[in-house]
Chains A and B, each alone.
Chain A
Amino acid sequence: MKKRSRFARSQRATIVIGILSLVVIIIVLQLWLFTATMNAYLGGDTAILLPAAIASLVCLGLNVGLLWYLYGLER
């Protein structure tokens, strides 16, 4: 017998919209970070590159976690 999700369908719809909003905010943050890093790189400032790359990786990890949670809702 298929196990039912702990959330009703209407609740899942709300959750997916919330997660979508969070992911969009994180991506806008990554866009800003990439623009600032590119400007620093072209200006010869290389000190910022490693922290910026790590920050972007953390953002990617957050997004992966959110998508993972979203798929977990259906299990």
Chain B
Amino acid sequence: MSAEEREQITVPPDGKTLEEQPRWRQDFPIDWPQDEYVARRDFVKFLLLTSLAFTTGQFWLLGSSLLRRSDEAEEMAITQVDDVVVGGSLVFKYPQENSPARLLVRLDEETFVAYEQQCTHLTCPVIPDVERGELHCPCHEGIFDLQSGRPLAGPPRRPLARVTLEVREGVVYATGIEERTV
């Protein structure tokens, strides 16, 4: 059998002869191997769009990081020291009024900590538990260390962004945001 004759062979998907095929297949016989070849080739073409989407996403991240202003976190007064009791907390917006919510927690007479309020898993608001020294996310039971903002349990893998603080003359100031990956 020559190579040209081999090219003409068409085999139905179940491997049986054309006479054994159901009527609808006999009525509309097609070149099945060529059909499979074209289907796979088109699937490769479709996957190329997925690849393009990932590449576009990468460049979108790069572009948005270039556009993000680096000097946006300026000093801002949050509250008077006496307005937050020991073990208490306060939600505030920083650095702008339309920024994501931040959480200020007073650990003891001298110590304040502040983090972004959104869990790094799926952005649910976290709740401080000063007695246990934890920040708790009720959505998926995520737990962060109150002292460092690092994840202790649950699905979150990234620490909460920390707001750096300064206490001067009885006023708590936010001085910057420290984003971290570990």
Residues of A within 8 A of B (CB): 4, 8-10, 12-13, 16-17, 19-20, 23-24, 26-27, 30-31, 33-34, 37-46, 49-50, 52-53, 56-57, 59-60, 63-64, 66-67, 70-71
CB pair A9–B7 under 8 Å, yes or no, is yes
CB pair A63–B48 under 8 Å, yes or no, is yes
CB pair B47–A27 under 8 Å, yes or no, is yes
Residue tally, chain B, CB below 8 Å to A:
36
- B-side binding surface: helix, strand, loop or mixed? helix
Q: Which of A17, A23, A44, A53 contacts B58 (CB 8 A)?
A: A53
From A12, A39, A53, A70, residue with most partner B Cβ within 10 Å:
A53
CB pair A44–B161 under 8 Å, yes or no, is yes
Show 19 residue pairs from A and B whose CB-CB distance is below 8 angstroms, ordered by the A residue.
A8-B7, A10-B6, A10-B33, A12-B37, A13-B36, A20-B44, A23-B48, A26-B51, A38-B61, A43-B159, A43-B179, A43-B180, A43-B182, A44-B180, A45-B181, A53-B58, A53-B59, A70-B41, A70-B44
Residues of B within 8 A of A (CB): 3-4, 6-7, 33-34, 36-37, 40-41, 43-45, 47-48, 50-52, 54-55, 57-59, 61-62, 65, 120, 157-159, 161, 178-182
